[in-house]
Structure 1
Amino acid sequence: MKKRIIEMRRDPYIEEEYIYKKDKIELYPNCLTVLVGPNGAGKTTMIRQIQRQLKKEGVHYLEFDNEEKRKNDKSRAAYHENYVLLATLMESSEGQKIIVSINQFAGQIGNYIRTKLSKNDTEIWIFMDATDSGLDINNIIKIKEELFSTVLDDKRLVGKDIYIVVTTNSYEYTTSFGEHKTDCISVKGCEHITFSNYQDYKEYIIKGV
């Protein structure tokens, strides 16, 4: 099976220290890759490690960071005097704000595929960090079935390796959807892991491995 090897470097904050048990991870294309682990395990840092290698190789990627996106959306709406969007963001719940942001990000993905993706590009990378905060099960399933499935099934991407990498604290992200597989990676162990049910996932998170 085709795979992409990503090097895990030393802790970027503390010299000569490692935060992962292995020095590399394997990512498989054309599925959803979910980085799992308890809070503080290094999920976001692992995304940064992957992005560091892509930058080094000159590979473009699209990124959704929920925390930063929420801050920027209000500022951008105010700057462009989009008061309808600004009012919507101010009056919406956390989950509703995330949905608005993800809808905008979906538009960015579509625009990139239509206008910027080159025939010579063999890979497309999409990162989504902290996307489950404030979302209920139905919205998470909707994101997988509508956004991720749409990208993975896009005929314009036939022959290209599609990598969708997300971090999560929700079991619902770890399950397969439609005809598409989900590949879970244990952040601390840097190994592929499967969960048979919610209880199995819960016990893994509680152990903090």
Structure 2
Amino acid sequence: MMTNLFSVFDPSSNIMNLSINWLSSFIGFMLIPASMWMIPSRMTMMWNLIINKLHEEFKLLIGKKKINKGSTFMFISIFSIILFNNFMGLFPYIFTSTSHMVMTLSLALPMWLSFMIFGWLNNTKHMFAHLVPQGTPAALMPFMVCIETISNIIRPGTLAIRLAANMIAGHLLMTLLGNTGSTIMLTLLPLLIFTQIMLLTLETAVAIIQSYVFAVLSTLYSSEIN
């Protein structure tokens, strides 16, 4: 029976028809040592430094006048969740939950909906003003409203697809190259291993960048409703 190219990413592990692949999102909590929570270790200090840097950056993106206490930590939490799941997907035989639209859309859609509901209920005039960029000629205003409305509506989709596509692309290439290992000539095996190591390094960078991009874009979308 033929399967498509993406079938390697389909959830397959189950007990009593209940998929257990999504448990990979929680496996890492068992791997985090207790010392990270109790004792100020180097790992804790490094993570606190990252959080503080992200907090300062998100605070600048939202704007000091419009900032609410603790609002940046919502986006830091989203960054942490996506980064954690992206890294877990780099380990062998662990299901990459962020490569599925179920996971990414579940993060993007409720957040975008909450921004839209809050903005249209509390800052209606400001939201209408965003539909027409400043300096737009009167003849082009109806078209700009349509374009801005469509671009606003597709935001959760673009957030979800961007994350899922970037996570699945590198993993798919690594899977295809890895499957050729048993049939490749012995002289080309070192080249294949070197290529896989380079791809793994690239995927590590992509895991960090995509979680950062998701959090930054979410912050920018939230800054537009005030």
Calculate the TM-score normalised by the size of structure 1: 0.24
State which structure, 1 or 2, has the greater radius of gyration over its C-alpha atoms. 2
Flag the structure with higher helix content: 2
Calculate the TM-score normalised by the size of structure 2: 0.23
Flag the structure with higher strand content: 1
